[in-house]
Structure 1
Amino acid sequence: MNTRWARSTIRSALVLLAVAALAIAGVVTVVVARTAPAAADVSIAAVEDDGANCPVTLPGSLPANSRLPDPFKKIDGSRITSKADWRCRRAEIKRMEERYVYGEKPAKPASVTGTVSSTNITVNVSQNGRSASFSAGVQLPTGTGPFPAVVVLGGFGADTATIRSAGAAVINYDPLAVGREGTPRNNKQGAFYTIYGNTSTTGILAAWAWGVSRIIDVIESSGGSVLKADSVGVTGCSRYGKGALAVGAFDQRIALTMPIESGSAGAPIFRGIPGESGAQPLSSAYSEQPWLGDAFSSFTGNPNTLPVDQHETVAMIAPRGLFIMENPHIDWLAARSGSVAALGAAEVYKALGAGGNITYWSDISDGTHCATRSEWRTPLQQNIQKYLLRTGSSTGVFRISSRKPGNLAEWRDWTTPTLSDSPSDPPPDDPEDPDDPPPTDPPPTGGCAATVSVNQWTGGFTATVRVTAGSSAITGWTVSATLPSGATITSGWNANRSGNSGAVQFTNVGFNGAVGAGQSVEFGFQGTGTGTGMTPSCAAS
């Protein structure tokens, strides 16, 4: 992630704490970003929702839009310009997701108590004269605690043996105790609905997320002798993958989110599902279980009128750790639409200087649903080390299967802005920050320049190419590059291309040809073989 941003956040938090200590009258609300050693900084919040005080006015009308909504565009029509602006823009997205997709996830109840032991967590909740309780099992790794932990929904998620061997505890959470499946929408059951009423319009995915938040509340109040409240991850597969995504999106204390094969109502973009052959229809996902909020019924036949889409749900996790795992062998799971959501969210990660904090992996050989896969073992270990143990420094990768490659360029008509570190202070390049885009050296005085960064793995790679205009604006561009011997492009996004191997030319698509003086746009591609050693050149038109 952008370490300069994290250091600035830390400094700001210290200043706010000093102000709070000196305040004599009035109430000072302080949101403190939790910190870790500089080599493994991760941006998690000290509270469930650090944008709760951002004013949000929902849109007055919902015009149809076949493209993905611009995650950087505020409800009032303006676009955010700084990384600090993301906080309240995320609050807008959250409020729209609650209103139109998931239903409301209430804030922490008046009373949350419980216990944490080496084998169990108990949770007792009271609100407005109503009370409910539930529990979760705990499996500790070897060694001496306190330990980071991964909440596993319903017993289906990332490989628990790998989680524990990496040094994290496993919290076995039964979401059905909080939001039961198999119930009608007007008679929902479980601890959440005991508190908020069985006719609540909130879907059970948001209820499941509420339950995990209450578990974290109890861990926070337990004193931290067994588990670390600031090092919690979440995972789940299939319908529990839908739940894991909701947990990470709606609680900013989650350091690492790992949804697996989540399908419709999970990561895949709603707008893509109707056109993806064999994908579970939105009407089916809505009616199979009360996963989504009641209000989503208005959009099952026409998702184009939604003011949000799932690339923005995924982006709500930014800049925290995210590892999305998908299965392209089962059409029902809509992995093509899932890859588009991940690519769209990755643009938010990049804009926040945290492009290395998101990993997407659908390049797998075994098509069995919710299987333990060898391809995911190493990135799982790396993500746990980086975001939960704070000892790793791996960079996220995109491994998109050629069976279900998404093309973000087909779905967006917006570009990714360069966000400043503060509203009035554009960020200089930091040569020590690996997540900064490679600088143009020297900046082009006219025309355009191109630079490339490559994520390489055994047998394949992804490449991100940045096109930067010189001293004058350009209206189109062509990038030429010669791929190393044996390299073949399998998929790409945000550019047209002339071939897949050897000397290849890339040209802009409709929405990213116009580039202002000194400004940049990006495109990318995935390939087999080795991608290192390319030297792209750029010509303006």
Structure 2
Amino acid sequence: MSTTAAAATGRLAVTAPVEDEGADCPVSLPGSFPTNSKLPDPFTKLDGTRISTKSDWRCRREEIKKLAEKYVYGEKHGKPQGVTGTVSRTGITVNVTDQGKSAGFSASVQLPSGTGPFPAVIVYGGFGADTATILAAGVAVISYDPYQVGKEGTPRNNKQGAYYSVYGSSSSTGLLMAWAWGVSRIIDVIEQSGGGILKADATGVTGCSRFGKGAFVAGTFDQRIALTMPIESGSGGAPIFRGIAGESGAQPLSSAYSEQPWLGDAFGSFTGSPGNLPVDTHEMVAMVAPRGLFIMENPHIDWLAARSGSVAALGGAEVYKALGAGDDITYWSDVQDGTHCAVRPEWKTPLMSNIQKFLLKTGNAPGVIRISSQKAGNLSQWRDWQTPSL
């Protein structure tokens, strides 16, 4: 079935009803992994066999998830024992209780004109996202301050914020995953709210720069998110870890690890040897499949590692294709203005297309891959595997 035909026959129901559909898959991680300078094969299971059907992806995705948690981001605790909160026309409150500890945080809501209930995009940090276009499309904007959930400027052994109030200030989980956990708790509260104001099954997430890293991780690790839109995420975001050292001027992995406790503590062992990682970000891109993904990158600032970002997108897109969802990923780095986190005219049309397709469920435009010639990566240099027909 073509992707277009699939869309006409219900492809739009690509989100899962739960945060992690493969939570019941048994995963046993080996004690060690061979060094591999190439990108790991997303289609090869931990036991060395390759997946052969689309239904195999559910548990293969869980393997990648567990690898990413252990070696890159730290564990993402699942839904707490207690999650309560409120959704109003102006804000969301979240209160969690787990393991005998409690914490809370809030987010503000801006509704578009109309009666609703509305889809919503969770915007990290309040800058970089084209909120005017989002609102004009009839989609609400949830302004999320991730620092309430995981503060920057803290040492790794004394992390602060709602996540660490519950799971401990010495938790080895990095801020990006803590922030993603906060996004998931917002979705929990929307789900429980009865859907009179916001639709729980039509949620997007976006952010720019460090908040682009955050949006990328949030969408990767919660299968209820219909549309993930990281902007200029840089090292520690979408770009492949293995490519960064060879990309002139890109922020080194050691710098991204030490600038803030964004990445999990375990990642510190790999900043100088990413070839020892059993996972890479093309597989995080793949974890979003078949849900909507729109990666925006800036090729004008070397620090942002856009060449490695394009390789991640191309590698992950192979999984999208194998799942029959090749039209559901968009990558765009072909932009004129190099200002970091600017709202760009080139992104407006694909933004609208993705909103219509994945949040409003009124459109069916195929995704677009538009890579700037300034920062064009070559997937064939990075892979020694071929994409199977599933």
4+ runs of 1 displaced by more than 2 Å?
A: 1-7, 37-40
- Which residue of 301, 307, 310 maps to 2:278? 307
1:88-167 aligned within 5 A: 88-167=59-138
The corresponding residue for 2:255 is 284
Over residues 447-501 of structure 1, what are the superposed CA-to-partner deviations in whole Å (9 max), with x where a residue is unaligned?
xxxxxxxxxxxxxxxxxxxxxxxxxxxxxxxxxxxxxxxxxxxxxxxxxxxxxxx
Query: Do 2:3 and 2:326's aligned partners in 1 also have CA atoms closer than 8 Å?
Result: no
Q: 1:39 to 1:129 in 2, by over 3 A?
A: closer
- SS state at 2:160 partner: coil
Q: What residue in structure 2 maps to residue 69 of structure 1?
A: 40
Q: Deviations over 1:353-412 (max 9, x none)?
A: 000000000000000000000000011011000000000010001100000000000000
Contact 2:92 2:186 in 1 (8 A): yes
What does 1:475-490 align with in structure 2 at a 5 Å threshold? Answer: none
Which residue of structure 1 aligns with residue 175 of structure 2?
204
**Larger helix percent:** 2
1:390-440 per-position Cα deviation (integer Å, ceiling 9, x unaligned): 000100011000000000000000000000xxxxxxxxxxxxxxxxxxxxx
Task: State the match for 1:237 in structure 2.
Answer: 208
What amino acid does structure 2 have at the position aligned with 1:102? Y
Alpha-carbon distance, 1:63 to partner: 1.4
Deviation at 1:288, TM superposition (A): 0.2
Q: Deviations over 1:324-375 (max 9, x none)?
A: 0000000000000000000000000000000000000000000000000000
Identity value in percent? 74
TM-score normalised by length of structure 2: 0.98
Partner of 1:316: 287
Do the aligned partners of residues 262 and 403 (structure 1) sit closer, same or farther apart at CA in structure 2, a change above 3 Å counting? same
1:11-47 CA-partner distances (Å, limit 9, x unpaired): xxxxxxxxxxxxxxxxxxxxxxxxxx84662410000
Unmatched 5+ residue regions in structure 2?
none
CA distance in structure 2 between the aligned counterparts of 1:374 and 1:346, rounded to whole angstroms: 24
1:320 CA displacement: 0.3
Residue 300 of structure 2, aligned match among 317, 324, 329: 329
Instruction: Give me the TM-score of the superposition, normalised by structure 1.
Output: 0.71
Output one character per residue of 1:39-90: Cα deviation in whole Å (capped at 9) or x when no partner. 6624100000010000101122121110000000000000000000000000
Matched, 1:368 2:339: yes
The SS at the match of 1:285 is: helix
Matched pairs, number: 390
Q: Tell me what 1:217 maps to.
A: 188
User: Structure 1 CA distance, aligned partners of 2:96 and 2:184?
Assistant: 12
Conserved 8 A contact 1:40-1:386:
no
Flag the structure with larger Rg. 1
Residue 295 (structure 1) aligns with: 266
**8 Å contact from structure 1 (residues 203, 293) kept in 2:** yes
Could you tell me which of 71, 77, 80 is aligned with 2:51?
80
Q: Partners of 2:29 and 2:76 in 1: how far apart?
A: 16
- Contact kept, 8 Å, 1:2 with 1:352, in 2: the verdict is no
Please report how far the alpha carbon of residue 142 of structure 1 lies from its aligned counterpart in structure 2 after TM superposition: 0.7
Cα separation, 2, equivalents of 1:188 and 1:215 = 21
CA distance in 2, matches of 1:217, 1:275: 41
Q: 360, 375, 382: which one pairs with 1:411?
A: 382
Paired letter, 1:235: T
| Contact 1:248–1:257 under 8 Å retained in 2 | yes
User: CA-to-partner distance for each residue in 1:240-295, whole Å, 9 max, x for gaps?
Assistant: 00000000000000000000000000000000000000000000000000000000
Counterpart position of 2:319 = 348
Aligned to 1:381: 352
Question: SS of the residue aligned with 1:98?
Answer: helix
Preserved contact between residue 261 and residue 325 of structure 1 (Cα < 8 Å): yes
C-alpha distance in structure 1 between counterparts of 2:375 and 2:151, whole Å: 32
Question: Could you tell me how far apart the structure 1 residues matched to 2:335 and 2:266 are?
Answer: 36
Could you say which residue in structure 2 is the equivalent of 1:195? 166
Higher RCO structure (Cα 8 Å, ≥6 apart): 2
RMSD of aligned C-alpha atoms? 1.4
The answer to whether the Cα contact below 8 Å between 2:3 and 2:327 also exists between their aligned partners in 1 is no
Q: Which moved more, 1:121-130 or 1:58-67?
A: 58-67
Deviation, structure 1 residue 167: 1.0
Indicate the SS of the match to 2:93.
strand
Q: Where does residue 273 of structure 1 map in the other structure?
A: 244
How far has the Cα of 1:6 moved from its partner?
6.7
Gaps of 5+ in 1: 8-36, 420-541
Deviation (angstroms), 1:2: 5.8
